[in-house]
Every structure is written in structure tokens, then in C-alpha cells.
Structure 1
């Protein structure tokens, strides 16, 4: 599934978060699964949501890419101890573990953003700051991505 869009959401007093209806309706239970794994995000202060069937493949990529040793053990100790299966209830909500919220300091006003193969949960103000800093760079980032795509295809004779 391709995750896109930005959604301003709120975490309720019971740590429940509503997954946007469009995301839920686009999930294919056969292909994507019907639950999410919540893991520490790639950026500080964020959490990432991965469809459960995708998560196993994602986890295997990290397992294979790190060399044996203390760094791999540290990564796995943090990553897998924080990974949590989130069931979606009948109202389309998930319950976020307090431990995960405490580690990243999200607060109750959050933004969920699509990130191609996963969703990212940000503190709303942090997301706004991130976009403010990076929006002006977007044309350059897009050109770099297009150039890398052309090079990967063998057409990058620039």
C-alpha cells in the first residue's frame, strides 16, 4: 500500500488514536494485513506505523543489513522492545502504548503523514517546523531523486 497525505489528529485521554478512514479503507487485508506495528521512527520524536504483513519484510531488511556485534544488538534491543502490534477497533482507533509516547514526547496533538511504505506520527508543532524548514528545499530534493532514478535506470548521462 502507498501511504500518502497528512492528517491532523488528537490522542485521547485513553491514548487512542483514530486511523483516518481513507487509510483504513485502502488497506487490503490479504496483502497489507489488518493491524499495524508501531515502532520508533526514523526521525527523533516520531513513531512509525507499518502494516503487519509488511513489517516482517521490513524487519528482515534491517536484520540482514547490520553486521553482527554490539551495534546490531543495541539496535535490535531498542527496535524490537519498542515494536508493538496495534489492533484497530470497530471505531477505527488504535491504543498507543504510554511507554512509546513517553520515549518520543509526542503530546496529544499530532500529525500523521504518509511516507510511501509507512505512516509517521509527529508532534504537530514538530511536523509544522519540519515542513517549514524543508518545503523550500523540495524542488532540489525532487531533482536529486529524479537524477538518482535516471542513474539507477542507466540513463544518467548528465
Structure 2
């Protein structure tokens, strides 16, 4: 199933984030509570299941490492990505470097985006929505070309 939905959450003082049950149910496979948290475009974070992170890694492996920009991206991406584990209350702890990358404040928004969950600062997400909502039809046409 594709991950969908929008959930507002609060980061606690230890930078723990409660992942909504519908998202946890889609992300977690079997007994493992491990997920992967990585930097994403547009100043967001991406939360992946182990399988989805592995698919992304295989896709990145296929890119040309001959390009300096690709090598730099891979260094930045993998050095910031981290395996995180859901605790007994369904929370993950976001490392400080990723909190800084996404400029997360206390109020965050989790978005289901097909095979991953994006974590946005609430104000950043609100700005994204206000500047892109009117483009929905044009963006849909481009996506379905």
C-alpha cells in the first residue's frame, strides 16, 4: 500500500517524534522496528522502511559515480542518513544534525509520500502548501505525462 495522509506532531525535548500508527503499520515489516531517516529535498527529512531504503540505495548505486556532483551528493546523503528504531511507544529519535538540516521546530508535519514519510517543520510545510496548492492541476498533468 502507498503511504498517504498528513499528521501534525510535536517533537519533545529529546527530539523524539511519535510516528502515527497507520504509517508505522506500513513502514515496519516483521519483528524489526528499524527504519531509516535521511535528508530529503526541499528541506525535509524522509523516513523509510528498510526495504524502501534499500531500493533507494540500489537506484543511487546505478547513478554515474564519475560525476563530482553525484559523488558529493552520495557523501552528503549517506553521511546524514541514519538507522532509527521505533521505541515501545512508536517514537523515533531524530538526531541533532537532521533536526538542524530540516530546521525542525517543536511543531512538525508528517506526510505519507508513496514509499516513505516526509517530516517537515510545520511553518515550512505551510509555506510550501500556500505557494504550490494552486499549481495542483499543472503538477498533476506533468506527473502523468
For structure 1, the residue ranges without an aligned partner over 5 or more in a row are 149-158
Aligned to 1:145: 143
1:11/1:17 contact within 8 Å kept: yes
Show the counterpart of 1:75: 73
The CA distance in 2 between the partners of 1:98 and 1:107, in whole Å, is 12
TM-score (norm 2): 0.90
CA distance in 2, matches of 1:140, 1:108: 33
More strand by share: 2
- Residue 26 (structure 1) shift: 3.4
1:103 Cα deviation after fit: 2.4
Match of 1:47 in 2: 45
* 2:28–2:49 Cα contact (<8 Å) kept: no
After the TM superposition, which parts of structure 1 deviate over 6 Å for at least 4 consecutive aligned residues?
Answer: none
The answer to whether residue 92 in structure 2 is matched with residue 87 in structure 1 is no
CA distance in 1, matches of 2:38, 2:101: 11
Q: How many residues are matched?
A: 144
Structure 1 residues 64 and 122: CA distance shift in structure 2, 3 A: same
Of structures 1 and 2, the one scoring higher in RCO (CA 8 A, sep 6+) is 2
Q: Which has the larger radius of gyration?
A: 1
Determine the structure 1 residue equivalent to 2:25. Answer: 25
Aligned counterpart, 1:118? 116
TM-score (norm 1): 0.83
Whole-Å separation in 2 of the counterparts to 1:99 and 1:140: 35
5+ long unaligned stretches in structure 2: none
